[in-house]
Structure 1
Amino acid sequence: MSFKTEEAGTSSILHRQVADLVKREDGWWYSGMLDRSVCGRVLSTRERSDVARGCMGAADDACRAAQCCFEGKAPVAIAGALGLKVRRVKQDDLLGSSNILGLYDPQTAAVCVCEDTVASIERFIDGQGLNDLLGGYSIFDVALLHEIFHSLEDRTPGIYTRSRMLRRKILSFFPVRAGLDAASEVGAVHFSKLMSRLPFSPCIYTWLSLVLNGRVIPDAWRV
């Protein structure tokens, strides 16, 4: 088999995988993001479902509020209206990380989007013939909206994604409430999807970045 044939075969497999992924429901992606342990105990299926639903609800509320206040404004304009500085950074500014699309810095009231990573994913989509499935959407805007949500969390006391939503016990006796960092990420992903009107989950961009950089795909996201 020639190199070109092998390359075409790999692209065909990737196209089928992405065609499957664009049809996946949000809950499938979010369950994978929440598939981890808290206080020494793995989240149950019901807990993952409940947390995902709560995060989506928080994102829905934030989206409605943002659309009411900033109707018709582009993500960059929304950031400006919120008093946030938008910074376009390079991978070298993020310690060379090739998987980080964006970053929110509350200390400087800045939202950063990594242009290198955005550009590499866009080139990968184009080079692998995935434009029919993923083309026509701004990855930069999606990443920016993701980080804007984290700023909105700081401005929303009691928001679910920052709450202690899980019940746990210490030493199998003392009841405690525990939060989950991934809940904030689920909320941000869902908010960016709603605000950008993506017909598929933004998690696909993370999945593509992992493939592009030869990283291991989480078991929960394998197709």
Structure 2
Amino acid sequence: MTKVDNIKVIIERPDFDWYEEMVKSSTFGKKITKDQREVFIKKAMEQAEKFKNKLISEYGNKEPMGYIITFDIPLEYKKEEPTYGYQYLGYYRTKNKSIAVNYTTLNLIQKKCKEKGFNEVEIDKIKDTVLMHELFHYLEDLFPSDYTKEKHFETKTFGLFKSKINLSIISEITAVHFSKLMTKLKHSPKVYEYIYKKY
């Protein structure tokens, strides 16, 4: 299988499979059952749909910059090189409710797609997808949701002592799915990250 063939498989990978991988690789992934994973992922995807509907219903159907202007969210474009072998695409600062986008990473992913001939990847939507992802985290603060902000799950430590774990990964899954819905992306936003790491 060539790399181009392989990327086609990655592009066609179902959203649920990406999200299940995210849960499994999280700190709490081994503490929940397969059935519980499925429930959490389903709820996260439903939550993303609700946030999308609420946003469009109350503020209209806009491009990412339209919402950022509407909510007056400080936006910063950065050019930062990778640290510890990995670099972020964007992030949301809770403290001052601002969004940052790293053009170094975005440009690198775009370059890789062009060089490898990954024509099926919707590279023209990468910036909007990142903005929508971080916009979701802003909306979480604006419209608190117990499923994405403070979802706890009761488990047992060593099979004896009950404790609660915070499934913050649910927030990330919801943000990923929200960004896909809002940009009408044909493949998972996780494809961008995959290309960055694997190619």
* Corresponding position of 2:22: 33
2:49 counterpart of 1:60: yes
Structure 1 residues 72, 164: CA separation in 2 closer, same or farther (over 3 Å shift)? closer
2:183 is the alignment partner of 1:191: no
Structure 1 counterpart of 2:64, from 72, 75, 89 = 75
Q: Counterpart amino acid of 2:22?
A: M
**Deviation string for 1:9-61 (max 9, x for gaps)?**
xxx72211110112111110000000046569433211211111111111111
Cα distance in 2 between the residues matched to 1:49 and 1:147:
24
Query: Judging changes above 3 Å, is the alpha-carbon distance between structure 1 residues 37 and 67 closer, same or farther for their aligned structure 2 residues?
Result: closer
* Runs of 4+ with deviation above 6 angstroms: none
Among 125, 133, 141, the residue aligned to 2:128: 141
Tell me which of 104, 108, 120 is aligned to 1:120. 108
Aligned to 2:74: 85
Paired AA for residue 111 in structure 1: I
Pairwise CA distance, 1:128: 0.7
Shift of the 43–141 alpha-carbon distance from structure 1 to 2, 3 Å rule, reads: same
For residues 142 and 124 of structure 1, the distance between their equivalents in structure 2, rounded to whole angstroms, comes to: 18
Q: Quick one: which amino acid aligns to residue 53 of structure 2?
A: R
Structure 1, gaps ≥5 residues long: 1-11, 213-223
> 2:122·2:186 contact (CA, 8 Å) conserved in 1?
no
Larger radius of gyration: 1
Give the % identical residues: 26
Do residues 49 (structure 1) and 32 (structure 2) align?
no
1:102-181 paired onto structure 2 within 5 Å: 102-131=90-119, 133-135=120-122, 137-170=124-157, 172-181=159-168
Contact 2:78 2:102 (C-alpha < 8 Å) held by counterparts: yes
TM-score, normalised relative to structure 1: 0.81
Matched positions, count: 199
Q: 1:46 to 1:65 in 2, by over 3 A?
A: same
Give the Å deviation of 1:176. Answer: 3.6
- How far 1:164 moved relative to its partner? 2.6
